[in-house]
Structure formats: structure tokens, C-alpha cells
Amino acid sequence: MSELRDPSSPSVPKAVTVHAPGMIASEPVATAPLTTVQLALYTGWTMAVLYGNLQDQPAKVPELRTVNELQPQQRRELELSRLEYLLKQLTSVPAIASANLIAKVPASAADDQFSAKLSDLHLRILEALTAGPADTLLAYQLGRSLRDTVNPPLVQAQAGKPPAPALDQQLRRDRIAKLQEWLATLAPQLPAHAAAVVATSLGRWSEFSAVTLGTNSQLRSGDRTGTEAAMRKYLLPQGDTWLMLLIGTRPTAGLLSPEAYVAAAEAALRRSARSVRQVLQHYWLAVIIAAAALGGVLYLAISNLGGAAKVWTSIAAVGTSLGISANSIMSTTRRLAAEAERPVFAMAEEDAMAWAVTTMPPDVNLSYRGARKLRKAGVAPPSTLGRI
């Protein structure tokens, strides 16, 4: 199985010599330097590539190979070079610099003790990052976990059968929820919208897996083996896209076409309407009381036009009886202002961006119930509106 054939690999910032997936260049590209959090995330991803299961590639290809088309031994040698570059840049973290981790990088992937040395290096990185800022350690773990999500480690499925990737375990809801929590925590230190877009895309894949690979066989009309193989094929390039968004190589600004923004606005209006209906259904009694109070105030104003002071005294009494005061009004205003910091349209926009970068197998063997459950979970993009 081949990974993404020729991804738009993350570029190499001039101020930070970090080489992107798919290229080791002598002349770095001038872009914004990667932050410490992005470097740690990229390092965790690279460690997972080195330690993970790499598929054998065809013996012959019609053109020069991309990074993802290299044979496992060649790929690991390249990733070792990348890991060394990343660790050099992370020496800005005092704990990393004092641990001298670069000297612990295995010299070659052909070493008989390669896995053991890599595992030891991983533990040393964890120890060093534990002594530094918490967000750096979290970013490292996030990068490693994301790579393991798109390239699940092999586990023994059943006795007598060879190990197989545990895709359903990697995409289970509780695990994806934890990754989404990490993304939300690191969001302020990642490119705008990137964390939310990746988190939403992860959620879509989790819902897709729950239906197509879940234990409820009534949701499928065929064997899950073919669907799982197709999902693994699509997940590998999906992971490259997530990485590029998180380290800033692929900006979110150009993900949507003008039509997509219109669709996002329509989705925002529908969401707002649903919210209003739910509030009214939940607080119908309060709405009736408020309407009755308003009618009473209007009656007092009309029937006592001759005495302004009496009118406002009556209105104040009604307001006081209903618990209306300047303090409550100000409190409500502040609460609404805080909630408005994340408007509905922004959430709809991020949802549309997530669909623009999410690619799933188009043909899966689902029953009617399975297809309906998938649509109800929100895995139903209305149309292709993103700029891929």
C-alpha cells in the first residue's frame, strides 16, 4: 500500500532548518520559522514514522521515487536525518540541550538494535520534555499519536493469524476525544483554525469508523476487511494533510472557495435557528411570563398616560417583581459578549474547512441503517466546495 504519492510537503523555514516530509534540501525555503510547539509535534510524528510499520513498496516505479515511495530501510534512513535536524532545533529548550539527545539518535536503521535504541531515545525525549514547558511535551505526544492514528501499529488479532493494523482501536471515540482535547489546548500556539480543522476531521473519521468497522454487523452489508483496507489507504495521505496544517505549511486561508463560504453562512443560519427553537422549547414558560409582563407594562402605560411618574413607578415595580435589575442586565450582556467571541459562522467555517481537507473512501458496503446512522452523525458533506 502506498502513502500519499507526492504530497505538498511542509516547507523548510529559513530561520529554522527543518526539512519537510518528502524533501531534504540544501537551500531552505524562506517561510515563518516553526515554533517550539510545532517542532515538538513534528518530532513526535517523525519518531512514530521511524518506529511504526512501513509497507514494502513496488520494486520498480516509472519515475523517481518520492519519500513515501521509498522502501522501508531507505525511508527510515531519511527520517533519521530529519529527526536529527529537528532535535538540533529543539535545543532551544534547555532540558533538550542538556540531555544531548542528538548523540542518542541511532546511526543507521540497519542496526540490529535499532528498535531498542529508538525506544530508549523516545524515553529520553519524554524525560527531557517533562522538565520543560508542559505544552512542548503535549505537542510531542500529539504528533506521535496522530501518526499512529493514520498508520496503526500491528497487533495480534486472533490466534493463528498474522498481526494486523488495529484501525478501529486507533479511531475509537474516547481516544479521538483525547486527541481533540490536546489540539484544543495547543490551538493558541498553532496556525489559525488549524487545530479546530484537524480536530473536526478526526471526529469525522472516528464516526466513519464507528459505523463501518463497529461491532454492529447490521450496519454493514458486506465484510469489513475491504473497507478497512480502503480506509488505511486513505488515512495515510490524510495524515500528511493534518501535519501540514498543524506546522503551517498548508494555510487554512485558501481552503474554501466563495461557494463554500456561502454554504458555511447558510449552515450558520440553520444552526442559529435550531438554537433559538431549542431555547424557546426549554424556556417556554418563561417566555409566556415575559410576554404577559410586557402586556401588563403596555396596559399600564396606555391607561395612565396622564401621570408619567405613576407609569414609571408601576413599570419599575413590575420589573422588580420579575427580578429585572441593572445588575442582571449587565451580567447577561457580559455573558452574551463572551459567547459572541466564537460566533456561529466561525464554527460553520471551520466545519467547511474540515470537509475541504477530509477524504474518505467513497464506496463502502453499508446497509440502509448504517448509511442513515452515518448521515445522522454528520458524515455527509453536501458538495465538494473546498480548494484541494
The answer on 157 and 85 residing in a single domain is yes
* Structural contact between residues 18 and 85, judged by C-beta atoms closer than 8 angstroms: yes
Residue listed under C-alpha cell 448504517: 370
pLDDT score for 31: 57
Q: What is the pTM of this model?
A: 0.68
386 phi/psi in degrees, rounded to 5:
-85, 160
| Model confidence band, residue 116 (pLDDT cutoffs 50, 70, 90) | very high
Nearest of 242, 210, 139 to residue 370 by alpha carbon: 210
Residue listed under C-alpha cell 531515545: 121
The answer to whether position 23 is within a domain reads no
The answer on 287 and 140 residing in a single domain is no
Between 376 and 137, the more confident residue is 137
The answer on 203 and 336 residing in a single domain is no
Cross-strand partners of 66: none
| Model confidence band, residue 386 (pLDDT cutoffs 50, 70, 90) | very low
Per-residue pLDDT of 322-369, as tens digits, reads: 554 445 544 554 554 444 445 655 666 777 777 777 887 776 666 555
Number of domains present in the structure of the chain: 2
The answer on 161 and 51 residing in a single domain is yes
* Statement: residue 146 has pLDDT above 50: yes
* Statement: residue 142 has pLDDT above 90: yes
The answer on 217 and 183 residing in a single domain is yes
The answer to whether position 243 is within a domain reads yes
Per-residue pLDDT of 44-83, as tens digits, reads: 999 999 999 888 888 888 889 988 889 999 999 999 999 9
The answer to whether position 13 is within a domain reads no
Per-residue pLDDT of 289-310, as tens digits, reads: 766 766 766 666 566 655 555 5
- Say which residues have a Cβ less than 8 Å from residue 358's Cβ, sequence separation at least 6: 201, 204, 205, 238, 381
pLDDT score for 187: 95
Buried b (16+ CB within 10 A) or exposed e, 106-115: beebeeeebe
The answer on 283 and 159 residing in a single domain is no
The answer on 172 and 210 residing in a single domain is yes
The answer on 209 and 84 residing in a single domain is yes
| Model confidence band, residue 12 (pLDDT cutoffs 50, 70, 90) | very low
Cross-strand partners of 164: 155
Between 160 and 123, the more confident residue is 123
Q: Considering Cα of 228, then 22, then 255, then 384, what sign does the dihedral take?
A: negative
pLDDT score for 32: 72
Whole domain around residue 187: which residue ranges?
A: 36-253+358-376
The answer to whether position 98 is within a domain reads yes
- Say which residues have a Cβ less than 8 Å from residue 191's Cβ, sequence separation at least 6: 245, 246, 248, 251, 252
The answer on 301 and 159 residing in a single domain is no
The answer to whether position 363 is within a domain reads yes
The answer on 269 and 249 residing in a single domain is no
The answer on 64 and 198 residing in a single domain is yes
